[in-house]
Amino acid sequence: MMEMRIPLSSPDIAESDIEAVTAVLRTPRLSIGPKMAEFEEAVAGYVGAAHGVAVSSGTAGLHLGLLALGIGEGDEVILPSFTFLAAAHAVLYVRARPVFVDIDRESLNLDPARIERAVTPRSRAILAVHTFGRPAAMGPILEIARRHGLAVIEDACEAIGAEYRGRRAGGMGDIGVFGFYPNKPVTTGEGGMVATSRPDLAAAMRALRNQGRRESDGWLDHELLGYNYRLSEINCALGVAQMRRLDAILDRRAQLANKYCERLRDVPGVTLPALTMADGRVCWFVFVIRVAHRDAVCRRMAARGIGCARYFAPVHRQPLYAPYAGADLPVTDEAAACTLALPFFNGLTDSQIDEVCDCLRKT
């Protein structure tokens, strides 16, 4: 694969992050230690949840959340197809059935009106994804869930710091899941977090992440069928250090989004994302435009050493999910054909943004 002169993403690692990791390496405790507890408290407290459960990835968090909620074979989980396929994978992990619902044309998040029509007697949960860091319409979603007795899982893997009507993403549903892969605003290298205010769910997920061992079990006693979804002290130390810089990170990414919009506002054929939302705050995970002939544009920019990517390939079009394709999803298909992610990371410079925009304009 050709190395990009301007990459699509790049982690922001400060000296304070390096020092935090080094400090852990000088201790005898590299797993299930004080840094894990500190990281859990930092994320849960930030989003307004009572409990945090650190896990090895956002995908692991989604999996454990579904298990803790008791969702399994024969159950249905409503979710968007316009998302990273890990959300749907987690549904299959528990042998439930993913029910794909179309999205709102502007926000690219689940359309609440279509959620209502997708509910059946087998529905157990709504998995709402905060796509590209823009909060989903949680007010209507939570109301639909209440009327039908459904659990709500927030996939906030792209949305730490996003807000909806004064509440933070990941702290509104039964469970909120965050991811900390290197392309995220906050990174732990690999890692994730589940936030919940339900002590029963938190206890279940803590056991399940550690091979099924409950806190009351003795050493090598495991009451449940669990997994090795632990997150090391090294990862957690990095997460704690990054969380201390979160406000500055979010502000920097908002500034970058503004700069892109200023430079691309007059480019014909380019549709820009909304910089603001009336009832919330966007967490700028990526900067995604909509453009005709997206694949050709992407190839030409890549040939000039500029990283870009299609976000997202719809899940219901993947061969594995053909049996679950169900009804047509016209807005999902329309969006998936034209969305293009441009280089976006904390260290992106003005000159790099100028080059990206100039190349896009010429292309």
Question: Residue 51 has which token pair?
Answer: 């409990």
Question: Residue 162 has which token pair?
Answer: 């996003």
362 is catalytic: no
CA nearest 344: which of 336, 334, 333, 356?
356
Which of the following is catalytic: 35, 184, 259, 362?
184
* H helix and E strand count, the chain: 12, 14
Q: Is 44 exposed, middle or buried (0-12, 13-18, 19+ CB in 10 A)?
A: buried
For Cα atoms 31, 37, 40, give the angle at the middle one, nearest 5 degrees. Answer: 115
Q: Where is 208: in which H helix or E strand?
A: helix 199-209
52 and 195 in contact (C-beta within 8 Å)?
yes
Q: What single DSSP character describes residue 50?
A: S
- The β-bridge partners of 271 are 290
Tokens 């009572």, located at residue: 50
**Residues with a known catalytic role:** 184
